[in-house]
Amino acid sequence: MPPHSEPQPGNKARPAAGNALLVIEVADTTLTRDRDVKLPLYARNGVTEVWIVNLARRVVHVYHQPGPDGYRELFERTAGETPAPLALPSAAIELAELFDY
């Protein structure tokens, strides 16, 4: 494989939003847009889990159970916690390390 090529899927089908198991948005100045514009689009299109990293408040907003009217579950995780994505529970993230950059 050439050094500057990108791997391509075996079939010609394009991935859909519902194929995404986790979307992470990092919000410094974009929190309102991420929450009010992007989040409803992710939910309507079946993205299983969305994390919005709110840098100003040093919290992560975790959304589960998408539907046509938004996400049915919201959890707020703080710097002392170690959340993991539903699709990969072994990939827990130490939020204290995330916010101490």
pLDDT tens by residue, 69-85:
999 999 999 989 999 99
Domains of the chain (ranges plus CATH)? 19-99 (3.90.1570.10)
> 69: burial class by Cβ within 10 Å (0-12, 13-18, 19+)?
exposed
pLDDT tens by residue, 18-73:
788 899 999 999 999 999 999 999 999 999 999 999 999 999 999 999 999 999 99
Give the model's pLDDT for residue 15: 72
Q: What angle do CA 34, 26, 41 make, to 5 degrees?
A: 30
Q: What angle do CA 96, 74, 41 make, to 5 degrees?
A: 110
pTM: predicted TM-score of the whole model, two decimal places: 0.82
Residue 10 — pLDDT band, cuts 50, 70, 90? low
Q: How many helices (H) and strands (E) does the chain have?
A: 3, 4
